[in-house]
């Protein structure tokens, strides 16, 4: 079974630039999560999708972050404009349904300079 795929794995951008991350969840998984993990901390949920609908985006900085999952499969997370404090690993995860075992991607490492 293929796992959660993310790209790019690594990205370095200057502050005020924009960046987009892509996630392909495990086939058939209805729930998709984007997490931000700052070095030395546990992951923090940014947004949760159930199919193509947003379940929770209360911790998403909406002035600069946006995410979509238009067809209920792949998802993109965009940051525009980036700030230095956005340097983190962005983890995508999926589960069959909420409450089931959650599977994580390898993460996309962002460095903002």
Partner 1 sequence: KNEVEQSPQNLTAQEGEFITINCSYSVGISALHWLQQHPGGGIVSLFMLSSGKKKHGRLIATINIQEKHSSLHITASHPRDSAVYICAVSSYNNNDMRFGAGTRLTVKP
Strands 10-13 and 108-112: parallel
Q: Which of residues 90-109 bind partner 1 (CB under 8 A)?
A: 91, 93, 98-99, 101-107, 109
Closer by beta carbon to partner 1, 50 or else 66? 50
- What is the residue-wise DSSP string for 31-100? EEEEEEE-TTS--EEEEEEETTEEEE-TTS-TTTEEEE-TTSS-EEEEESS--GGG-EEEEEEEESSTTS
Decide if residue 22 touches partner 1 (CB under 8 A). Answer: no
Interface size with partner 1, residues (CB under 8 A): 24
Q: Which is nearer to partner 1, 38 or 113 (CB)?
A: 38
Summarize as ranges the residues that interact with partner 1 (CB under 8 A). Answer: 33, 37, 40-45, 48, 55-56, 89, 91, 93, 98-99, 101-107, 109
């Amino acid at each position: 079974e293929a796992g959660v795929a993310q790209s790019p794995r690594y990205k370095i951008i200057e502050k005020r630039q924009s960046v987009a991350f892509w996630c392909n969840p495990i086939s058939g998984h209805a729930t998709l999560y984007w997490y931000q993990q700052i070095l030395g901390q546990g992951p923090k949920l940014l947004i949760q999708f159930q199919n193509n609908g947003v379940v929770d985006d209360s911790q998403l900085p909406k002035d600069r972050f946006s995410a979509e999952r238009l067809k209920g499969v792949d998802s993109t997370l965009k940051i525009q404009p980036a700030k230095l404090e956005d340097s983190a690993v962005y983890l995508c995860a999926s589960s069959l349904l909420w409450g089931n075992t959650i599977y994580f991607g390898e993460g996309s490492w962002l460095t903002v300079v």
